[in-house]
Amino acid sequence: MIEAHGLVKRYGSTMAVNDLSFFIRPGLVTGFLGPNGAGKTTTMRMILGLDAPTQGSVTVGGRSYRDLPAPMREVGALLDAKALHGGRRARDHLLCLAQSNGIPRRRVDEVLRTVGLEDVARRRAKGFSLGMSQRLGIASALLGDPAVLIFDEPVNGLDPDGIHWVRTLLRVLAAEGRTVLVSSHLMSEMALTADHLLVIGKGRLIADTSVDEFVRSSSQQSVHVRSPQAAELAARCGGPAPTSGPGPAPTSSRSPGACASARSKADYAVCLLASGSAVVPGVLSWAGPLVAGLARPSDVHDLDG
């Protein structure tokens, strides 16, 4: 497990991480979500002892990283896929790490097979694509068979098959009871990979919740239908007729998934369909001539970018 209390990191006048506290449990893939520059990598560097917190503390298994007797056997990490000597062959790079950390040589070949690099094990790393470098970095993280794994945007540079492989690998590792922390700035990726989310922005914790709960609480299940004949559209939806100014709209009975409200605006009116985008094909099938435009409110997927 990983536990942080009141983490603060300043670089001069820049506050990179601001009073961040969290607890990451084993057996789950925990997504670390936030836009670029939110403080994700800085936090990971503090977990790994690469940066010292300005304030606060972070521990792995109850101890700071620098106090771990055999770090690679307890924590595996991938922060920068290109942070290795380009002149070394892939197998030699892993063998150097294994020998300096008391890890058996046989483990090198095991992780090369796991990440699918056994056929290029004799190639020098400087000739690797970003995707191949990511696989080599994942192999390095797995080398000591650690209980805690930290990956900073591990799908960067991977093709669709590679992305699917990473997602599957992370879930397998978590199912084995390991603590898995993986960062991304894409909500769409986290929705397909993570079980739990830590969401940060400008160095502060925004949410600490399950993926399902975060999507449910952050998404708008509605669609706005714009029509110059809103009264007729509202009637067909089973909802109230629109109003032409301030004040409540006249009410009428309406069926589930029908128009929740309708109101006029300039030459048009807007009808809010309560059951979300799934109702749009049905609306278009019988009200198409009345519909001038469709839109949905912003939701959690707009974090992607």
Residues 168 and 51 occupy one common structural domain: yes
In the prediction, which pLDDT does 255 show? Answer: 37
What's the token pair of residue 32?
A: 């670390």
Please tell me whether residues 214 and 228 are part of one structural domain: no
Query: Does one domain contain both 136 and 248?
Result: no
Do 20 and 113 belong together in one domain? yes
206 and 233 fall within a common domain:
no
Q: Give the mean pLDDT of the chain.
A: 80
At residue 294, the pLDDT reads 47
Looking at the fold, whether 203 and 283 belong to one and the same domain comes out as no
* Domains held by the chain: number: 2
Domain shared by 125 and 271, yes or no? no
For residues 204 and 232, state if they share a domain.
no
pLDDT over 50 (residue 298)? no
Identify the weakest region by mean pLDDT among 123-137, 194-208, 233-247: 233-247
Distance of alpha carbon 2 from alpha carbon 52, whole angstroms: 16
CB of 150 closer than 8 Å to CB of 78: yes
Statement to judge: residues 96 and 115 lie in one domain: yes
Q: Among the listed ranges 55-59, 76-80, 100-104, 183-187, which one has the minimum average pLDDT value? A: 183-187
Which residue, 161, 195, 218, sits at the end of a domain?
218
DSSP-derived secondary structure for the chain? -EEEEEEEEEETTEEEEEEEEEEE-TTSEEEEE--TTSSHHHHHHHHTTSS--SEEEEEETTB-GGG-SSHHHHEEEES-TT-S-TTSBHHHHHHHHHHHTT--THHHHHHHHHHT-GGGTTSBGGG--HHHHHHHHHHHHHTT--SEEEEESTTTT--HHHHHHHHHHHHHHHHTT-EEEEEES-HHHHHHH-SEEEEEETTEEEEEEEHHHHHHHH----EEEEETTHHHHHHHHTSPPPBSSSSPPPP----TTSEEEEEEETTEEEEEETT-GGGHHHHHHHHGGG--EEE----GGGG--
pLDDT tens digits, 111-137: 999 999 999 999 998 889 888 999 999
Separation between Cα atoms, residue 251 and residue 240, nearest integer Å? 5
Indicate the residue among 170, 189, 218 that finishes a domain: 218
Could you tell me the residue range of the domain that residue 268 belongs to?
223-303
Query: What per-residue confidence (pLDDT) applies to 84?
Result: 83
Same domain, 159 and 115: yes
- pLDDT at site 213: 85
The pLDDT score that the predictor gives to residue 230 is 63
In this structure, the answer to whether residues 91 and 229 fall within a common structural domain is no
| Rounded distance between C-alpha atoms, residue 101 and residue 103, angstroms | 6
Residue 302 is predicted with a pLDDT of 44
User: Which of 218, 235, 268 finishes a domain?
Assistant: 218
In this prediction, residue 159 carries a pLDDT of: 87
Same domain, 23 and 123: yes
Q: Which residues contact 76 (CB under 8 A, 6 or more apart)?
A: 140, 141, 142, 143, 144, 146, 148, 149, 150
Cα–Cα distance list, 32 to 37, 57, 172, 222, 229 (Å): 13, 18, 18, 28, 46
CATH label of the domain that carries residue 139: 3.40.50.300
pTM score, whole prediction: 0.73
